[in-house]
Chain A
Amino acid sequence: MTEEQKEEFIGVTFVSDMPYDWAMGPYSGRLFEEMRDNKKLWGIRCPGCKRLLFPPEAMCGYCFTEVNDDWVEMKDTGTLVQFTKAGMPVFDNRTGMLKGAERPLSNVQLDDGPYIMHWLEETDIDKLKLGMRVQAVWREHGRGRGYEDIMYFRIIEESSND
């Protein structure tokens, strides 16, 4: 078919911009303040099932108990349990456009138990192995934007079981 013969269909394109103000609540709000001011991670212990909740919240979703003030200071070290790196441009929700994926995305199991999803410093995936020990590298001046106050996780030693 030539260009002229091709059936024309009309459409419209637009970018939907949805600004949001996300209230963190008193518990994650305290975590974000501590991350900003003291470069520290805090979870809260559920009085019902004793799970360490991170990020902390007013209630435990597992056993549906209201939490009290049993705050637990957590280490910022952990073990690499999942990682991946995009080979294609990924979507940037702040601009509505695609951007190159600079760093591998990972799941880290923190030494106190909970998981945190974050970037890895090492960009060569051939050098990454599950089970590696990693530690948070904090921004020098926290901006109060929670996880963004950590730049990425850095490998601190090779895994022993591989």
Chain B
Amino acid sequence: MTNKTAEPVVFSGHLKIPYKFEAGMTGTRFLKELRDNKRIMGLKCSKCNRVYVPPRSTCKECFSLIDEWVEVSNEGKLLTYTVLRTRRDAEDVILGRHLPVAYGIIKLDGADTGFVHMLGEVDFDKLRVGMKVKAVFEEERTGNILDINYFKPVS
């Protein structure tokens, strides 16, 4: 008996686990406003005036509990972006969209935080930091962050 295998022995398998993530009371209110009213809502810290979008129920700066809901604009400024052109597993679809896709961080007017979302109706070569973008809502909304289909440039 030797210590040598003919070739490295590799045991391959899959570990599949189902999960359910709850948005919680705050997250649910945010998603319901997107779904029912096409409104983007934030929470404003009454102590340091910061507006969090998506909403956070505790202020990261002063640790106050926050419960003052404010509506922010559907429009904002693109802080940064990138374009996804290939995937390692050779699938060309991500979140139901064919590659390439662009996404970025948007600071909505009235918010103090960045908001990550997809970018659409734009020639990717024309994307610029600082450009003005606007939310485009889905017709059929389900209470999901993708009830906003994407953000498009405002001309």
Task: List residues of chain A with CB within 8 A of the CB of B15.
Answer: 17-20, 93
Write out, one digit per residue, whether chain B residues 8-35 have a CB within 8 A of any chain A CB (1) or not (0): 1111111111111111110110011000
Given A19-B14, A94-B13, A26 and B6 touching (CB < 8 A)?
no
Given A9-B28, A26-B4, A27-B3, A14 and B13 touching (CB < 8 A)?
no
Do B10 and A17 touch (CB < 8 A)? no
Do B23 and A9 touch (CB < 8 A)? yes
Do B8 and A29 touch (CB < 8 A)? yes
Task: List residues of chain A with CB within 8 A of the CB of B14.
Answer: 17-20, 93-94
Contacts between the two chains (Cβ within 8 Å), count? 106
Taking CB as reference atom, which chain A residue is nearest B12?
Answer: A21
Do A11 and B20 touch (CB < 8 A)? yes
How far is the CB of A52 from the nearest CB of chain B, in Å? 14
Do B9 and A10 touch (CB < 8 A)? no
Check if B64 is an interface residue, CB within 8 A of chain A.
Answer: no
Check if A4 is an interface residue, CB within 8 A of chain B.
Answer: no
Check if B62 is an interface residue, CB within 8 A of chain A.
Answer: no
Do A28 and B9 touch (CB < 8 A)? yes
Interface size bracket, B side: 20 to 34
Given A9-B22, A24-B11, A30 and B16 touching (CB < 8 A)?
no
Bound form: Cα–Cα A69–B25 in Å: 61
Check if B2 is an interface residue, CB within 8 A of chain A.
Answer: yes
Do B9 and A24 touch (CB < 8 A)? yes
Do B18 and A20 touch (CB < 8 A)? no
Bound form: Cα–Cα A24–B6 in Å: 13
Do B2 and A33 touch (CB < 8 A)? no
Taking CB as reference atom, which chain B residue is nearest A71?
Answer: B1
Do B16 and A10 touch (CB < 8 A)? no
Check if A139 is an interface residue, CB within 8 A of chain B.
Answer: no
Task: List residues of chain B with CB within 8 A of the CB of A21.
Answer: 10-12
| A50-73 interface with B by 8 A CB criterion | 69, 71, 73
Do B27 and A13 touch (CB < 8 A)? no
- List 4 other contacts, CB 8 Å, given A21-B10, A22-B10: A12-B21, A12-B23, A13-B18, A21-B12
